[in-house]
Amino acid sequence: MRVAMIGTGYVGLVSGACFADFGHEVVCIDKDAGKIDRLLKGEIPIFEPGLDDLVERNVREGRLSFTLDGAEAIRTADAVFIAVGTPTRRGDGHADLSYVYAAAEEIAGLIDGFTVIVTKSTVPVGTGDEVEAIVRKARPDAQFAVVSNPEFLREGAAIEDFKRPDRVVVGTDDERAKAVMNELYRPLFLNETPIVFTGRRTSELIKYAANAFLAMKITFINEMADLCEAVGADVQQVAKGIGLDKRIGGKFLNAGPGYGGSCFPKDTLALVRTASDAGAPVRLIETTVAINDARKKAMAGKVADAVDGDLKGKTVGVLGLTFKPNTDDMRDAPSLDIIPALQAMGATVQAFDPEGHEARQMLREVDFKANAYDAVENADAVVIITEWDQFRALDLDRVKMLMKSPVVIDLRNIYRPDDMQRRGFRYTSVGRG
């Protein structure tokens, strides 16, 4: 099938490359000339394991291409995907849908014959209705269907998630559109992947509800971690004990400094605003948002407590800046709250992240180092914010030798307290009181 993918950000590029690998003919479209130029040169503008090889192979085999001018691709497409950004709108917390609506207007003037218009972007309930109205107003005679097909990709494991998903959600009541979507995802039938067809508004809400539930699950275990510290329990054992219950499950029960990234902060806030406007407030999610925001800011205090409450004149080494490992995504990363708070307490910060290059534009007066050992050298304390694999097996004897004082604050619980203490570290972790 012929697919036009509007947007070459995280969702659009991964989805486009995976559809091409399924055997479809995919054209990825973007207004950003610099991004398209990089892609045409074989450069990948985001870090996602395996994506460079996937793109290269499908470009070479003629199924994947990139362009600034998508007119021909949209005109001849069986399905046009809208995969543009929906950032939080400044001032009110609602999702900014301007890019989605602009894409809809562009599509309206170009489609020829029956076309499925798919919202892949994360959008509030009712957005599909508005997209349909925009296209219908511009082209009353057009044959089309607007479908919701939310993505459920984890950064760092996106290709695997696309090709072996738990489910595919498709929101449409149009039988012709169902046939097109079934054909697009036909390669998944071999794995017996559930294709869940729902109403369009239901599909839109499923995405927000899923992300909000996971964010709430993370926040729950973080609150349990605080309780564990207060009563002398171990949050990792608590998580294991409750996670073995199949009704709960063990995923997303890892205590830490709070969630970040491109999805959870934005989507929980959008759901709160949508629910409030509909007169059906989601108080659990409202509380989740507030707790998470406060938690990220409070982590600097945890670092200060580890050095007897005074960071003035101290050097803090930071390991990990991105919101999670195996991504270069800095959006709403806990480090963006923790590091300025450390600096406000008088600390000098030196930091390293394998892929967090955007941090150089987002954080001020940070001494960015070339590797982990440079980041810990002469530090009065080291704080682990992101659990990259390379931080899990550091030469701890070398770390201790390099540091001014052997103080480690492990916000991801990647080391064992008894082992760290035996090695001579003053070690602080999360929820292992």
Domain regions of the chain by residue span: 2-198, 213-428
Topology of domain 213-428, CATH:
Rossmann fold (3.40.50)
> Which of the following CATH numbers is that of domain 2-198: 3.60.20.10, 3.40.50.720, 1.10.260.40, 3.90.1170.20?
3.40.50.720
Q: Are strands 168-171 and 366-368 parallel, antiparallel or unpaired?
A: unpaired
Closest CA to 311 of 267, 347, 260: 347
pLDDT confidence of residue 392: 95
- The per-residue pLDDT for 93 is 80
State the pLDDT at residue 409: 98
Domains 2-198 and 213-428 share a fold: yes
Which residues are registered as beta bridge partners of 118? 81, 147
> Over the Cα atoms of the chain, what is R_g?
23
Give catalytic residue positions: 263
Give the residue carrying structure tokens 């349990």: 224
pTM: 0.93
Averages of pLDDT over runs of 10 residues in the chain (433 residues) are 96 97 98 95 94 97 97 97 91 87 96 97 95 97 97 94 96 98 95 95 97 98 97 97 97 97 93 95 98 96 94 97 96 97 97 96 97 98 97 96 98 97 97 88
pLDDT at 359: 96
The CA distances from residue 356 to 329, 332, 379, 409, in Å, are: 7, 13, 21, 20
| Amino acid, res. 278 | A
pLDDT at 89: 83
Which contacts (CB < 8 Å, 24+ apart) does range 250-255 have? 252/214, 252/217, 252/218, 252/221, 253/217, 253/218, 253/221, 254/218, 254/221, 254/412, 254/413, 255/221, 255/222, 255/224, 255/225, 255/413, 255/430, 255/431
Task: Work out the number of other CB atoms within 10 angstroms of the CB of residue 47.
Answer: 19
C-alpha–C-alpha distance, residues 170 and 181, integer Å: 8
Q: How far apart are alpha carbons 130 and 82 in whole angstroms?
A: 13
pLDDT score of 191: 84
